[in-house]
Chains A and B, each alone.
Chain A
Amino acid sequence: MRLNDLLTAIEATPIATAVRESTWLFPTIESVHVLSIVLVVGTIMIVDLRLINVASRRRSVSGLMRETLPWTWGAFVCAVITGGLLFSSSAMKYAHNWQFEAKMVMLLLAGINMAIFHLGSYRSVTLWDRDSMTPTPARIAGGVSLAIWVTVVSLGRWIGFATN
């Protein structure tokens, strides 16, 4: 099946049709999407700002992550579900929009950055958990993460302008 056939099939599903044709469904789902994203980005910022030694410097890194990550993942699942619903309503339009494509690439990069951090410097976190100055790889991971998520929010906003 070619990509465009798949996109057309997604748009033809009852759910996609309902989101597209209803006057209130799209804005409501979009509001939940925004709420989810601000929680994803906000809780990630708490950890990133600790990693680059700007905030929460007296808190242990692992403790901080235990407090924030359940919120990050819960909100991320909500963002994916609501984002999928919004995408389905005009799958063809979004899939061929470069801001949307770039946003997906950025999410992938965020995942890779996180994986590198977890498999790399975070393995030795017990050695620097309470240090107010984190090791260089952790600082880089935090800085890169901040830059990626600011870009994700920016691209998300641009999708609305480019496809309207």
Chain B
Amino acid sequence: MMISAFCEWLSNTAVSMVIQNVYWIIPTVQTVHILAIATVMASVVMLDFRLLGVAARSQTLPELAHRFLPWIWGAVVVLLVSGSILITAEPGRDLLNEVFYLKMSLLACVLVLTFGFQLLVRRGGEFWEHRRMIARVTAVVSLVLWVGIVFCGRWIAYVAHG
């Protein structure tokens, strides 16, 4: 009840009205959102398949992490900003939607996992090279979470209430 009142209030603010009524803002912000997801997913695939020992073996894990992690964090910031604009435009579409909360939970998990990976890789690649099982599980969990996030993102549009 409180959330739906908040959605009602937010969708009537001047900022929300502008985003709703200028026809090109939402598709443009969604395009930026998708391009940022492209940045994250390509970086994540390169890192996680290296972690699995399948891809990019010409580089060490710390080197690869140094190359791709800044792109992941930068793109996550772009995703949070563009996502917030989309929520402001149509609060009920997201905030009254179970799939949106599932997506945010998966995101929270994968960000914690990525941060943990980053802290450990800073100490050098040995940690991961000597613990193959942990490396594989980390890579698979990260990939599953990101693919789940992409799926949820598209499904939000199909189970929307608001």
Contacts and interface: CB of A to CB of B under 8 A. Distances in A.
Whether A and B are associated in the same complex: the answer reads: yes
A39 B41 CA distance: 6
Given A150-B35, A153-B34, A43 B42 contact: yes
A71 interface: yes
Contact of B38 (A31, A37, A56, A157): A37
Contacts of A85: none
Interface in B136-162: 147, 150-151, 153-155, 157-158
Given A45-B42, A67-B55, A153 B31 contact: yes
Interface in A9-41: 27, 30-31, 34-35, 37-39, 41
Contacts of B56: 67
Interface string A128-164: 0000000000000000000000100110011001000
Contacts of A71: 42, 45
Nearest to B158: A27
Given A67-B55, A154-B27, A157-B27, A41 B38 contact: yes
B12 to A, nearest CB: 23
Given A45-B39, A45-B42, A67-B46, A157 B154 contact: no
B43 interface: yes
Interface string B35-69: 10111111101100000000110100000000100
Contacts of B38: 37-39, 41-42, 45, 153
A154 B42 contact: no
B27 A161 contact: yes
B29 to A, nearest CB: 10
A49 to B, nearest CB: 9
Given A31-B151, A35-B150, A67-B55, 15 more contacts: A27-B157, A31-B155, A37-B38, A38-B41, A39-B41, A39-B45, A41-B38, A42-B41, A45-B38, A46-B42, A46-B46, A55-B71, A67-B58, A153-B34, A157-B31
Interface of B: 26-28, 30-31, 34-35, 37-43, 45-46, 55-56, 58, 67, 71, 147, 150-151, 153-155, 157-158
9 contacts: A35-B150, A38-B34, A38-B41, A39-B38, A39-B42, A42-B40, A45-B42, A150-B35, A154-B27
